[in-house]
Structure 1
Amino acid sequence: MDNIKRQNRKEDLKELILYTVFGNLTFVISIGSYALFNIAFGINELIANALAWVFAVLFSYVTNKKWVFKAPTPTKTAFFMQMFAFFSGRFMTLVIEEAIIFVFITLLAYPSMWVKLAAQVVVVVLNYVISKLFVFRDR
């Protein structure tokens, strides 16, 4: 029994480390593409954030499914259900992030990149919880 608990703890630690690595890469993709759209191209912060979200979420889905949570889907139906759950969860955190950006950048005129960075911290934590508890819960 102790060996099973120890193995589970090892797997959980490995999962957390991989999520941290790929989460940081997703963070960089999100911040980098947001900066490109918002600062370099002058696109509105809410639109720039939504565009950055597309790139970050596509990268995140592949890495979370394949390497972090190792969640195979034996059928097409299971694959699409898992994908729908993932994108639905990410969409919920997009709405939260857009609200943060709207309030702090659009209404209160805080610096764009600082708000985006702070919002990303909130989003990364929420995304992990959603992925762990709802999307990739069955191994």
Structure 2
Amino acid sequence: MQIKSIMTALILALSATGCSTVSKVVYRIDVPQGNYLEAGTVSQLQAGMTRQQVQYLLGTPVLQNPFEQHTWYYVFLQQKGYETPQQHMLVINFNPQGLVSDFKLDKPLTEDEKQIINNSIISAPPQPAASWWQFWK
């Protein structure tokens, strides 16, 4: 009788812990952090742009050195589900006049098909002008 209860408790304990050993059962969401950097917007960055133009294009920087105002840091960290996180860092240097002197991206950005579709311009065909009394046409 005692062996039956021990075996039942042992089987119950093993079946309860057996589910936790299976990896990738729990869904993990994609977690982007920092400034979202796209290859299309980074390619528009040029030397000679003003600070306002850079901020309009890429947003406010994540890091600014309080002792030196001539360097902006844009950091983007992407954690997709169970994959290893990917971090990209864009460093923009300004000259004393406030224009971009140089910029450096540590790793190339991947171009997604969704980004290409979302950044395309969609135009509707022109509609012929109709009068209000010609609604049946």
- Per the TM superposition, whether the score is higher than 0.5 is no
TM-score (ref. length: structure 1): 0.25
TM-score (ref. length: structure 2): 0.26
- Bigger relative CO (Cα 8 Å, ≥ 6 apart): 1
Between structures 1 and 2, the one with greater strand share: 2
Please identify the structure whose Cα radius of gyration is greater. 2
